C-alpha cells in the first residue's frame, strides 16, 4: 500500500509518470526524446526509493526516475498516475480532491478517502474509510509541517518544511527537509517503537528510533552545492546517527522532533508548526485509538475516584468517632468487682423446639454469694444445659423459669455481664503463650481506663492464683503443635474468665480430662477463690473424688433433667439414708449419688419416700435450713460479719428455695426471655472499638508470624508460579500466536489467583470457633474482628502475592512496556484476588460445614471461570444462561486485563504471505465479545464486588456466627 513508484519497463524518452511543470507556471514539460533510461542500479534512488530491475520504486509523494521529484495527486491514486513535479516545482493545486499537504499525501476530508476504492479491506466488511487527522498511526500516515529553527534561518534564510512518512507496519520514519521548494536532505529512520500514551491528561503519540541515516542532497543550499552561504552542513548531516524521536500531542498542529546529535544546537528539539497530517483508515481501526479509549475511560475514572473518595471520607469520619469514643472511655472512672453475687434459679425448664423433647424439667436451686455449688449427675442428665441457661447462653429451644441475681430478676444481658463462663471444651488461640492469651482477655475485658501496668499486674496475679506461672511463656498449642498440657489448658480457660473478677463463675466440667491430682488442684483453687468472697462458683462435675466432693458447699444432683437432690453437700448422705438408700462403707459418696441418679428404680424410691410427717418435715425443714444456710454458705458462716449481713439481707433468695420447687413438674411456664424486662438491652463492652481493633490485630499479626505456613506458602507459590508463567509465555510477540498466548497468560493468572483464594476458607474456619466463643463471652463485637480478619487475610495473602506474581510474570512475558498499563495490570490482579478471597470468606461465614464450604467455593469458582470470557464467547452463550456471565468475577477481571493489554496494540502477522495488521480492539470484540471502552466499567464492577462481599461477610459474621447451644 505504501510504496508508490515510477514502475514499468525501462523506456527511452518516456518518463515513468506524468510530470507537472514547476510552479508557478504549471505547464507541462514536453516529453524528451531519445533520453537514455535512468539505471538505478548504477546511481541509486533518492528519498529511500527502492531499486527493482534498474527502475526506482518511489515512496508516496515522490516520483521521477530517481524519486527526487515531487509526486502530487494522492496516495489513493495509482503511483504511475501521480503527476510528478520537476525540481523546484510545487504540488499546489495538483492534489486530488480531499487531499493536501506538501506532496498531496495527507487526507483532508472523509470524502477524499472515499473517492477511490480503498487499498485494503475492512475486517468488519462494509465500511468506508475516513480521514484520521490525529497523530496516532494505524497503517501509514503522512504529515508536512513548518519548521521553526532560527539558527538555521540565520545561515540559510527561507521557509523550512519537513515532510514525514510514518509507516506503522514496518515501524519506519521517512523525513525530508525542504527549504522553499528545494529538498535539502532526507533521513531514513528504521526500527522505531511507537506508543500512544496519556500524560498529564494529554494524549500523545511518540516515535522513538535508535538509528538515523541521513543523506544531504548535492547540490543544495545547505549541503554546499550552491555557492553563497559559507556553511556546508553536508558532512554533518551525513554523519547524523540518532537516536531520534518525534512527539505529536493529539488535537494539536504542533509536533517536536529531537535528534540526539543536534542536541548541542537544538537542546529542546526542533519545533514543527502548522502540521498537516492525515491517513485514510476504517472507523473500526480508528476505534482502537488511545484517544477514543481515553474518552470512554474518563467517566470510569471519575466514578472510580468518587467511590474511593467516598470510602476514604467514610474512613476518616469513622476513625475520628472511634478515637473520640476511645478518649471518653479511657477517662471514665472505673471500679472492679469486689463482691461475689448470689444466683438463684427457680423451675428452670428447657424444651427442644424441633421435637418437643423436655431436657430440663423445672429445676430449682441456688448458689450463695461466695459459695461453691456443684451440679452432679450422670452423662446426659442435663448439667451442661442447666449451666448454659444460668450463664445466659443462647439456646435453641424454649427456656422457662426464673433466674434471680442477688435476689432480683434482671435482664439476661445483666446476668451475662455478672457471669464468667468456662465451657466444657477449651477454645484457645494455639499460637499464643499462656501470658499473651490471658493478657488478651484482660486488655479487652478490663476497663479501658485501667492503667496498663495494673492490667499486667492483674494478669500475673490470676496466673499465679491458677498455678500457671511455670508455663506462662509457653505456647498453648493444638493437636498439630504440642503446647501446654490438658490440665494447664483448663486452667488457662479459667484464667481468661477470672481476669475480670466476675461476681459469679460458672464452669462446665472444669476437671474433665484431668488426673485426680490435677482435678483436686483446680477445684481447690476455685474453692480458694470463693473463700475470698469475690466470686461465687457454680460448676458441673461428673465423678469427683470424695475429698473433692466435700469441698463443695452445695450439691445439686440431676437425673434425667430433674433435680434429685439439692442441699448442703454433707447432708446428701443422710438425705438418701432416710429414704433407705444407704451408702455402703468405703464407698465414695459421690459415686453412690451418681449410681442412684442413673438407676431409675432408685430414683423412684428416693422420690416416693413415705416417712412420717416428722421424718419428712425433719428432712424438709432440715433441708430448708440447709438452703437458708446455703445463702450464707459454710464459708460465709466463717466469714466476717459484714459479709454475713450482706448475704442475709438477700431476702428473696432466703425465702425462695423449697423442696416443693424441686419436683419434676415445675409450675412456672414463664419463658425466661419473656420474663425479663427490656429485651433490647445491648451488650456493653468495657473497651472502645479502637482498643478492640488494636488488640485483635496484634494477636492476628502474632499468629501470622508464628504460624508462617500459610504466608510462606502463598508467597512461595506466587513467586514460583510467576516465574513459571513468565517462562511458559516468555517474550510473546504481537502476532496471531502471541495474541493467543497473551490472552492465555492473563487468564491463567486469574485462574491461579482465583483458586488460591480458596485458602481463605481454611484460614477463617480456624479462627471462627474462637470468635464465636470470645463474642459470646463479651470480649468484643463482630466489627473489629471482621476488620482485622480482612486486613490480615487480604494484605499478606492476597495483595502481596498478586503483586509479586504480577511483577515477575509481566516483564518475563513482555507485556506492554507502558508504565501506566503495568500499574493498571497490578491493580486488576489485586482487585480480582481480593474479590475472590472475599467471596470465599463469605461462604466460610455462611456455611457451617467446612467440607460443604470448600465444595461450594470450588464449584462456583469453576463456573465463574467457564463464563469468564476466555472459554466461551459471550455472544455464543445460550440465552437462558447469559446472566451467569454477569456474576463472573473472571469476566470482569479478564476483560479489564485484556482491554488494558491489547486494546491499543496491533496484531501484525503474515498468513501465507498476506501481511495483516489488525487492531487488538477488533480481536477483543470479535473473538471474545469484549467491550473496548470497558476497562473502567470492569474496574468499577470489581470494586462493587469487593464492597458487596465485605458487606455480606459482615452480615453473615454478625448474624450467623453466634453461639447456639
Binding site for ligand ATP (CB under 6 A): 352, 359, 377, 379-385, 396, 542
Q: Which is nearer to ligand ATP, 940 or 961 (CB)?
A: 961
Locate the DSSP E strands across 101-225.
Answer: 106-107, 130-132, 140-148, 160-167, 172-179, 182-189, 193-199, 202-209, 213-216
Q: Which is nearer to ligand ATP, 72 or 522 (CB)?
A: 522
- Any idea which residue has 427490656 for its cell? 678
| Smallest gap from residue 377 Cβ to ligand ATP (A) | 6
C-alpha cell at 675: 420474663
Q: Are 452 and 788 in contact (CB under 8 A)?
A: no
Q: Which is nearer to ligand ATP, 382 or 869 (CB)?
A: 382
| Smallest gap from residue 385 Cβ to ligand ATP (A) | 3
Phi-psi region of 346 (alpha: psi -120 to 50; beta: other; left: phi over 0): beta
Q: Which is nearer to ligand ATP, 559 or 921 (CB)?
A: 559
| Smallest gap from residue 482 Cβ to ligand ATP (A) | 26
| Smallest gap from residue 766 Cβ to ligand ATP (A) | 25
| Smallest gap from residue 458 Cβ to ligand ATP (A) | 31
- The torsion angles phi and psi of 148, rounded to 5 degrees, stand at -105, 110
Q: Are 367 and 502 in contact (CB under 8 A)?
A: no
Q: Which is nearer to ligand ATP, 251 or 353 (CB)?
A: 353
| Smallest gap from residue 403 Cβ to ligand ATP (A) | 17
C-alpha cell at 4: 508508490
| Smallest gap from residue 595 Cβ to ligand ATP (A) | 15
Q: Which is nearer to ligand ATP, 307 or 352 (CB)?
A: 352
Q: Are 664 and 426 in contact (CB under 8 A)?
A: no
C-alpha cell at 482: 504440642
**Residue closest to ligand ATP, measured at CB:** 384
* Cα angle 289-291-297, degrees, rounded to a multiple of 5: 105
Q: Which is nearer to ligand ATP, 386 or 537 (CB)?
A: 386
| Smallest gap from residue 593 Cβ to ligand ATP (A) | 14
| Smallest gap from residue 541 Cβ to ligand ATP (A) | 9
| Smallest gap from residue 831 Cβ to ligand ATP (A) | 43
- What is residue 451's DSSP assignment? -
Q: Which is nearer to ligand ATP, 541 or 902 (CB)?
A: 541
Q: Which is nearer to ligand ATP, 175 or 359 (CB)?
A: 359
Give me the DSSP letters along 466-492: TT-GGGTTSB---SSS--S-HHHHHHH
Q: Which is nearer to ligand ATP, 544 or 636 (CB)?
A: 544
Q: Which is nearer to ligand ATP, 323 or 848 (CB)?
A: 848
- Name the β-bridge partners of 62: 70
Q: Which is nearer to ligand ATP, 112 or 378 (CB)?
A: 378
Q: Which is nearer to ligand ATP, 147 or 556 (CB)?
A: 556
Q: Is the dihedral angle over the CA atoms 91, 96, 97, 99 positive or is it negative? A: negative
Q: Are 495 and 507 in contact (CB under 8 A)?
A: no
Closest CA to 619 of 561, 559, 549, 566: 566
| Smallest gap from residue 544 Cβ to ligand ATP (A) | 13
| Residue 641 CB-density burial (10 A; 0-12 exposed, 13-18 middle, 19+ buried) | exposed
Three-class SS of residue 53? coil
- Within 8 A by CB and 6+ apart from 250, the residues are 134, 135, 136, 202, 203, 204, 205, 291
The rounded distance, in Å, linking the Cα atoms of 146 and 11 is 38
Give me the DSSP letters along 342-368: -EEEEEEEEE-TTT--EEEEEEEEEE-
The rounded distance, in Å, linking the Cα atoms of 148 and 41 is 37
| Smallest gap from residue 384 Cβ to ligand ATP (A) | 3
| Smallest gap from residue 539 Cβ to ligand ATP (A) | 12
How is the chain split among helix, strand and coil, in percent rounded to 5? 45, 20, 35
Ordered strands of the 372-376 beta sheet: 419-422, 504-507, 536-541, 372-376, 554-559, 562-568
Amino acid at each position: 500500500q505504501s510504496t508508490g513508484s515510477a514502475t514499468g519497463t525501462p523506456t527511452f524518452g518516456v518518463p515513468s509518470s506524468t510530470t507537472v511543470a514547476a510552479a508557478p507556471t504549471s505547464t507541462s514539460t514536453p516529453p524528451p526524446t531519445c533520453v537514455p533510461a535512468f539505471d538505478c542500479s548504477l546511481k541509486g534512488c533518492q528519498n529511500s526509493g527502492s531499486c527493482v530491475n534498474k527502475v526506482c520504486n518511489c515512496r508516496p509523494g515522490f516520483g521521477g526516475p530517481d524519486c527526487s521529484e515531487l509526486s502530487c495527486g494522492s496516495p489513493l491514486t495509482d503511483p504511475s498516475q501521480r503527476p510528478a513535479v520537476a525540481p523546484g516545482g510545487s504540488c499546489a493545486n495538483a492534489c486530488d480532491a480531499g487531499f493536501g499537504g506538501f506532496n498531496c499525501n495527507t487526507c483532508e476530508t472523509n470524502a477524499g478517502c472515499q473517492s477511490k476504492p480503498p487499498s485494503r479491506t475492512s475486517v468488519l466488511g462494509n465500511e468506508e474509510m475516513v480521514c484520521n487527522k490525529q497523530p496516532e498511526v494505524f497503517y501509514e500516515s503522512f504529515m508536512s509541517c513548518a519548521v521553526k529553527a532560527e539558527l538555521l534561518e540565520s545561515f540559510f534564510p527561507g521557509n523550512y518544511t519537513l515532510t514525514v512518512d510514518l509507516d506503522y507496519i514496518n515501524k519506519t520514519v521517512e523525513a525530508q527537509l525542504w527549504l522553499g521548494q528545494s529538498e535539502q536532505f532526507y533521513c531514513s529512520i528504521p526500527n522505531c517503537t511507537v506508543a500512544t500514551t496519556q500524560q498529564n491528561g494529554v494524549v500523545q503519540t511518540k516515535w522513538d528510533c535508535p538509528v538515523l541515516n541521513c543523506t544531504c542532497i548535492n547540490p543544495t543550499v545547505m549541503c554546499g552545492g550552491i555557492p553563497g552561504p559559507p556553511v556546508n552542513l553536508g558532512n554533518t548531516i551525513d554523519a547524523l546517527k540518532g537516536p531520534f524521536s518525534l512527539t505529536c500531542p493529539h488535537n494539536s498542529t504542533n509536533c517536536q522532533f529531537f535528534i540526539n546529535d543536534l542536541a548541542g544546537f537544538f537542546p529542546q528539539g526542533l519545533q514543527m508548526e502548522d502540521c498537516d497530517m492525515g491517513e485514510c483508515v476504517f472507523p473500526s481501526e480508528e476505534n482502537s485509538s488511545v484517544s477514543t479509549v481515553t474518552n470512554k475511560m474518563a467517566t470510569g475514572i471519575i466514578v472510580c475516584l468518587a467511590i474511593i473518595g467516598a470510602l476514604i471520607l467514610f474512613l476518616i469520619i469513622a476513625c475520628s468517632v472511634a478515637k473520640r469514643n476511645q478518649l471518653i472511655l479511657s477517662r471514665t472512672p472505673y471500679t472492679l468487682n469486689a463482691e461475689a453475687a448470689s444466683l438463684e434459679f427457680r423451675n428452670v425448664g428447657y424444651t427442644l423446639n424441633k421435637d418437643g423433647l423436655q431436657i430440663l424439667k423445672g429445676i430449682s436451686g441456688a448458689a450463695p454469694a461466695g459459695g461453691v455449688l456443684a451440679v452432679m449427675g450422670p452423662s446426659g442428665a442435663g448439667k451442661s444445659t442447666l449451666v448454659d441457661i444460668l450463664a445466659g447462653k443462647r439456646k435453641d429451644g424454649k427456656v422457662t423459669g426464673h433466674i434471680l441475681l442477688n435476689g432480683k430478676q434482671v435482664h439476661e444481658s445483666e446476668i451475662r455481664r455478672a457471669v464468667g463462663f468456662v465451657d466444657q471444651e477449651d477454645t484457645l488461640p494455639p499460637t499464643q503463650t499462656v501470658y499473651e492469651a490471658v493478657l488478651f482477655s484482660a486488655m479487652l475485658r478490663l476497663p479501658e481506663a485501667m492503667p496498663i501496668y495494673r492490667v499486667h499486674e492483674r494478669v500475673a496475679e490470676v496466673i499465679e492464683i491458677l498455678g500457671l506461672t511455670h508455663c506462662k511463656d509457653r505456647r498453648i498449642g493444638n493437636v498439630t503443635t504440642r503446647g501446654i498440657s490438658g490440665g494447664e489448658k483448663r486452667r488457662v480457660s479459667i484464667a481468661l474468665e477470672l481476669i475480670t473478677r466476675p461476681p459469679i463463675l460458672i464452669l462446665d466440667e472444669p476437671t474433665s480430662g484431668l488426673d485426680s491430682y490435677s482435678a483436686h488442684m483446680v477445684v481447690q483453687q476455685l474453692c480458694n477463690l470463693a473463700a475470698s468472697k469475690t466470686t461465687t462458683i457454680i460448676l458441673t462435675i461428673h465423678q469427683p473424688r470424695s475429698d473433692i466432693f466435700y469441698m463443695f458447699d452445695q450439691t445439686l444432683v440431676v437425673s434425667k433433667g430433674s433435680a434429685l437432690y439439692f442441699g448442703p453437700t454433707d447432708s446428701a448422705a443422710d438425705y438418701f439414708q432416710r429414704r433407705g438408700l444407704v451408702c455402703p462403707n468405703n464407698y465414695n459418696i459421690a459415686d453412690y449419688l451418681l449410681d442412684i441418679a442413673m438407676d431409675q428404680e432408685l430414683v423412684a424410691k428416693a422420690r416416693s419416700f413415705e416417712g412420717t410427717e416428722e421424718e419428712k418435715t425433719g428432712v424438709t425443714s432440715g433441708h430448708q435450713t440447709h438452703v437458708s444456710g446455703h445463702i450464707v454458705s459454710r464459708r460465709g458462716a466463717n466469714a466476717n460479719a459484714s459479709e454475713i449481713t450482706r448475704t442475709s439481707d438477700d431476702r428473696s433468695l432466703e425465702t425462695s428455695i423449697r423442696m416443693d420447687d424441686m419436683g419434676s413438674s415445675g409450675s412456672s411456664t414463664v419463658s425466661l426471655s419473656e420474663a425479663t424486662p427490656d429485651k433490647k438491652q445491648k451488650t456493653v463492652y468495657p473497651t472502645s472499638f479502637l482498643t478492640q481493633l488494636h488488640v485483635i490485630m496484634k494477636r492476628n499479626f502474632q499468629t501470622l508470624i508464628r504460624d508462617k505456613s500459610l504466608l510462606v506458602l502463598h508467597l512461595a507459590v506466587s513467586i514460583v508460579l510467576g516465574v513459571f508463567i513468565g517462562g511458559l509465555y516468555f517474550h510473546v510477540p504481537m502476532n496471531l500466536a502471541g495474541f493467543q498466548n497473551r490472552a492465555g497468560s492473563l487468564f491463567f493468572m486469574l485462574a491461579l489467583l482465583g483458586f488460591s483464594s480458596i485458602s481463605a476458607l481454611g484460614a477463617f474456619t480456624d479462627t471462627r470457633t474462637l470468635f464465636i466463643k470470645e463474642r459470646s463471652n463479651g470480649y468484643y463485637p463482630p466489627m473489629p474482628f471482621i476488620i482485622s480478619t480482612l486486613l490480615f487475610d487480604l494484605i499478606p495473602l492476597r495483595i502481596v502475592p498478586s503483586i509479586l506474581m504480577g511483577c515477575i510474570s509481566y516483564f518475563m512475558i513482555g507485556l506492554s512496556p507502558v508504565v501506566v498499563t503495568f500499574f493498571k495490570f497490578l491493580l486488576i490482579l489485586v482487585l480480582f484476588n481480593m474479590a475472590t478471597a472475599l467471596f470465599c470468606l463469605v461462604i466460610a461465614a455462611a456455611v457451617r460445614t467446612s467440607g460443604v464450604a470448600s465444595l461450594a467455593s470450588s464449584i462456583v469458582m469453576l463456573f465463574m471461570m467457564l463464563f469468564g470470557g476466555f472459554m466461551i464467547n459471550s455472544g455464543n452463550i445460550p440465552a437462558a444462561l447469559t446472566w451467569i456471565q454477569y456474576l463472573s468475577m473472571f469476566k470482569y477481571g479478564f476483560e479489564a486485563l485484556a482491554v488494558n493489554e491489547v486494546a491499543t496494540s496491533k496484531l501484525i502477522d503474515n498468513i501465507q504471505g498476506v501481511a495483516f495488521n489488525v487492531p487488538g480492539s477488533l480481536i477483543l470484540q470479535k473473538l471474545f465479545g469484549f467491550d473496548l471502552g470497558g476497562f473502567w466499567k470492569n474496574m468499577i464492577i470489581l470494586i462493587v464486588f469487593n464492597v458487596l462481599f465485605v458487606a455480606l461477610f459482615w452480615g453473615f459474621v454478625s448474624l450467623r456466627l453466634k453461639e447456639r447451644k
